[in-house]
């Protein structure tokens, strides 16, 4: 069975673990480098990316995770997780970590402050029917490189993107009780393994 890690330093880890388990994957909470060694793929949850960035350093996960991503480990980043996987950041502290796993510029908190959080029904390429998306202090994708596929947008802003086996979204699929995007991610891992 594919072991899918969930980066468990901060954020909405539990909801991702539940979604993955419900789909038949074997989730593992990743807090230390030895946990990372045991996973085939990784979900980076929503939360607060500046805090996660600090915790990545103090936990010793920073460099090993950079190495796994550079070696092509499949990854799914939601909201703060998308910020961590991006190549370029706007509105972040200069020392905030981003791994450059997907060629995009991400602007933090660009949908506004907490009060500006909202929900939307998205039309997602390759997924039948609307996907409910919960946006919480969501980041905006300012630009994407030529290798990046845009799978869904809101007001012409990309909110769900993929580059190879790296999937990112600006919203929280794990909070809407809809597991189709987790399934999309799991499908990309099994293609890789087979």
Is 77 a binding residue for ligand GLN by CB under 6 A? The answer is no
Taking the complex as a whole, how short is the minimal distance between the CB of residue 46 and ligand GLN, in angstroms? Answer: 3
Report the residue number, 68 or 108, with the smaller CB distance to ligand GLN: 108
Residue 121, strand partner residues: 132
Q: Do residues 120 and 138 make contact, with C-beta atoms less than 8 angstroms apart?
A: no
Angle at 6 between CA 10 and CA 136, to 5 degrees: 50
Taking the complex as a whole, how short is the minimal distance between the CB of residue 1 and ligand GLN, in angstroms? Answer: 28
- 172 is an active site residue: yes
Ramachandran quadrant class, 155 (left: phi over 0; alpha: psi -120 to 50; beta: rest) = left
Provide the total of helices (H) and of strands (E) in the chain, helices listed first: 6, 12
Question: What is the spatial distance between Cα 145 and Cα 103, in angstroms, rounded to a whole number?
Answer: 5
Q: Which of residues 107-126 bind ligand GLN (CB under 6 A)?
A: 108-109
Is 80 a binding residue for ligand GLN by CB under 6 A? The answer is yes
- b/e code 106-126 from CB counts within 10 Å (16+ = b): bbbbbbeeeeeeeeeebebee
Is 49 a binding residue for ligand GLN by CB under 6 A? The answer is yes
Is 62 a binding residue for ligand GLN by CB under 6 A? The answer is no
- 79 is an active site residue: yes
Spot the catalytic one: 15, 16, 79, 98: 79
- 174 is an active site residue: yes
Positions marked catalytic: 79, 172, 174
Binding site for ligand GLN (CB under 6 A): 46-49, 79-80, 83, 108-109, 136-137
């Amino acid at each position: 069975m594919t072991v899918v890690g969930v980066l468990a330093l901060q954020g909405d880890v539990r909801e991702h673990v539940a979604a993955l388990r419900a789909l038949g994957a074997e989730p593992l909470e990743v807090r230390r480098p030895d946990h990372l060694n045991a996973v085939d793929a990784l979900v980076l949850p929503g939360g607060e990316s500046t805090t996660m960035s600090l915790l990545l350093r103090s936990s010793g996960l920073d460099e090993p995770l950079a190495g796994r991503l550079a070696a092509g480990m499949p990854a799914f980043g939601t909201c703060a997780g998308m910020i961590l996987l991006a190549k370029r950041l706007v509105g972040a502290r200069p020392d905030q970590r981003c791994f450059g796993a997907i060629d995009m510029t991400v602007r933090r908190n660009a949908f506004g402050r907490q009060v500006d959080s909202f929900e939307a029904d998205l039309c997602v390429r390759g997924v039948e029917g609307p996907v409910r998306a919960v946006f919480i202090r969501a980041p905006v994708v300012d630009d994407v490189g030529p290798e990046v596929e845009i799978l869904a947008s809101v007001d012409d802003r990309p909110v769900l993107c993929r580059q190879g086996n790296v999937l990112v979204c600006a919203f929280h699929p794990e909070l809407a009780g809809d597991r189709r995007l987790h399934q999309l991610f799991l499908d990309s891992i099994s293609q890789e393994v087979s």
